[in-house]
A and B are shown apart, each in its own frame.
Chain A
Amino acid sequence: MIEVLSVSKQFNGQEVLKEITATFRNGEVSLIIGQSGAGKTVLLKCIVGLFTPEKGKILYDGRDISSMDKKEIRHLRQEIGMLFQNSALFDSMSVLENVMFPLDMFSSMTYNERRKRAMFCLDRVGLSEAQYKNPDELSGGMQKRVAIARAIALEPKYLFCDEPNSGLDPQTSLKIDELIHGITTEFGITTIVNTHDMNSVMGIGDHVLYLANGNLAWEGNKDNILNSDNELLNNFLFSSDLVKKVKEMSLK
C-alpha cells in the first residue's frame, strides 16, 4: 500500500501539486487522470522519488521515502517496476537482455535461473518468441509489453505506468490494460497508472483520482465516475462526443 499525505510540489514558485492526499491499495489498479499540465506526471515522479516534494509524506507500506537514506531508497527501488510512456527499453540490448537486466543487477540467481525467470515474464506478456530481437524491431505495443515484462522481472510490490497507452491503437491499448490489470491482481501489486485514456478508466479503473490544477478534484472508481456531479470532472470526461453518447445511452 502507498499513502500520499498532504504532498505539495513547486517549480519556480508555482505550486504544481497542492496538498494531495490519497491511498493506493494492494491488488488494485489506481488511475490518475486529468488534463495535460494538471500535475499527474509530477505526482507520479514524487511517488517514485524522482522529485522531492516540498511538503507532505509518501509512505510505502508505512516506510517514509523522505526519511530514507540513499541505500534504503535504492533498496526500495528494487521493489518498484515502472513502465514509461515510450517504453524506455535499452536499445543496446536484445529483448531477453532487457528483461534479464534487473535480475543481472540485483538477484543472486544463476544465469540459467535468471534466463528462466526472464522467459517466464516474456511468456506472461506473450512475447517469448521475440527474445532475440532488438527493441527497434518491435512495434510500439510489443515494446510496451516487453517493458511490462522487465518491470515485473524482480517481482515488484509496486508498479507505476506513465501513459501506457499513448501512441497505441484501441485494440492494443485494451491488451496492455488487461495485462496491467491481470498482473496487478495475480501478484497483488500496488499499481498506479497515469493516463488520459478513458477506455482504460472504464476498463480497469478500480480506483480513479482526478487532478485539476494541482488539486485532487475527485476520487472514486469506474462504476461511479459517469454519475459524478463534479463539474470539473464532467467537463473533462464529456469533452468527447463518444463519452457523451455513452452517458446518454446509459441514462436511457
Chain B
Amino acid sequence: MFLAGSIKSFGSYLILMRRVLSRPQRWSVFFRQTLHEIYQLGINSIPIVLLISFFIGAVICIQMKLNVESPWMPKFVVGYATREILLLEFSSSIMCLILSGKVGSNITSEIGTMRVTQQIDALEIMGVNSANFLILPKITALMSMIPILVIFSIATGIAGAFAIGEFTGIITAEDLTTGLQHEFKQWYIWCSIIKSFAFAFIITSVASYYGYRVTGGSVEVGQASTNAVVSCSVLILFSDIILTQLLMQ
C-alpha cells in the first residue's frame, strides 16, 4: 500500500516536472519572476546561513579540540578536521537540510495558498502554464544562489572557528591556519557545490509539488508544508549518500 502510494506520488511528481521544465511562455516575465525569487529564496536566506554557520563552525572547533586533540596528534588537526567537516558535510548537506525547513515550507505554503484561493485556476484559465510560471523561477533562483550560500557558509564557519579560538584561547590562529591549509583539496569545494545543486533542486521541486497538489483549506496547506519538509529532508539525506559515494570515490 505504502509502496503503491509512493510510486503514484513519484509518477505525479514526474508529470508535474515535465510541465515545469518546459520553455517559459514569456522570457521577460520569467526573468522578472526569477529575480524576485532570488531575493525571496536566496538573499533572504543569507542571514540564517551566516548565523548558523558561524556558531556551528565555532562548536565544531571546540568539539575537535576536546575530543580529537591528544599528545600523539599535531596541534593543527583541530583546524584540519574543522575544515573537512565544514567543506564535506555541513556547508552543503546540513545547511540544505536547514534550508529545506525555511525555504521548503515557504514554497509549499505559498503555492498551496495560491491553489486553495483559486489563483492557480486563474492562471490556468488565462492560458498560463501555471506549473512552469510558478515553479521554474524558484528552481532556477535557488540553484543559482546555492553556490553563493555554500561559499558564505564555509567562510562564516571558518570565521566562527577563528572567533572561538581568539575568545577562549583553545587554539591559536597560527595552528588553526596551518590546519585549514593542510592538504587542502579544491575538489572538496566543488563536491560541496555539486551536492548543493542537487539539494537545491530537491528542495524547490519537492516543496512545490506538495504545494501544487494541495486540496482543501488552511489545515491542508499546513499539513502539506510539514510533509514537504519531511520529504525534502529524507531525500536530501538519501541523495547525500549516493552523491558522496559518487563524488568522493
Interface residues as binary, A201-234 with B (CB distance below 8 Å gives 1, 0 otherwise): 0000000000000000000000000000000000
CB of A46 within 8 A of chain B?
Answer: no
Determine the chain B residues whose CB is within 8 A of the CB of A102 once the complex forms. Answer: 126
Determine the distance from Cα of A50 to Cα of B36 in the docked complex, in whole angstroms.
29
* Chain A CB within 10 Å, residue with most, of B29, B114, B121, B122: B122
* Given A104-B26, A104-B29, A105-B29; A86-B118 close (CB under 8 Å): yes
The contact string, 1 if C-beta is below 8 Å from chain B, for chain A 75-95, is 111101010111011111000
Interface size class of A (residues with CB under 8 A): 20 to 34
Q: How far is the CB of A6 from chain B (nearest CB, A)?
A: 24
Task: Tell me if A85 and B126 are in contact (CB < 8 A).
Answer: no
A90 touches B119 (CB 8 A): yes
Query: Is A105 touching B126 in the complex (CB atoms < 8 A)?
Result: yes
- The CA-CA distance from A77 to B125 in the complex, in Å, is 6
Give, as a whole number of angstroms, the nearest-CB distance from A146 to chain B: 12
What A residues does B122 contact at CB under 8 A?
82, 84, 88, 90
Interface residue from B117, B125, B127, B128 paired with A50 (Cβ < 8 Å): B125
Interface size on B, residues (CB 8 A): 17
The interface residues of chain A lying within 8 Å CB-to-CB of B117 are 86, 88, 91
The distance in angstroms between the C-alpha atoms of A91 and B114, with both chains bound, is: 9
A190 to B232, CA, bound (A): 46
Q: What CA separation (Å) do A32 and B189 show in the bound complex?
A: 63
Given A84-B118, A86-B117, A88-B119, A105:B125 Cβ within 8 A: no
Number of residue pairs spanning A and B whose beta carbons lie under 8 angstroms apart: 54
CA distance A89 to B36 in the complex (A): 18
Other-chain contact of B126, A50, A78, A89, A91 (Cβ < 8 Å): A78
What secondary structure prevails in chain A residues at the interface with B? mixed
> Does B177 count as interface, using CB distance less than 8 angstroms?
no
Q: Tell whether A48 is near chain B: CB-to-CB under 8 Å.
A: yes
Q: Within residues 96 to 112 of chain A, which ones have a CB less than 8 A from any CB in chain B?
A: 101-102, 104-106
Q: Are A85 and B118 in contact (CB under 8 A)?
A: yes
Query: Is A74 part of the binding interface, using a Cβ–Cβ cutoff of 8 Å?
Result: yes
Query: Which one of B25, B128, B129 has the greatest number of beta carbons of chain A within 10 Å?
Result: B128
**Are B119 and A50 touching (Cβ within 8 A)?**
no
Q: Which one of A48, A77, A88 contacts B118 once the chains associate, using CB atoms below 8 Å?
A: A88
Contact A77 B127 (CB under 8 A): yes
Cα–Cα, bound, A102→B26 (Å):
11
B128 and A105 form a contact (CB under 8 A): yes
- By beta carbon, the residue of chain B nearest A78 is B127
Task: List 11 interface pairs A-B (beta carbons < 8 Å), by A numbering.
Answer: A50-B125, A74-B127, A77-B126, A78-B126, A80-B125, A84-B121, A88-B121, A88-B122, A89-B119, A91-B117, A102-B126
8 shortest interchain CB distances as A-B pairs: A77-B127, A88-B118, A88-B122, A74-B127, A82-B125, A78-B127, A84-B118, A88-B119
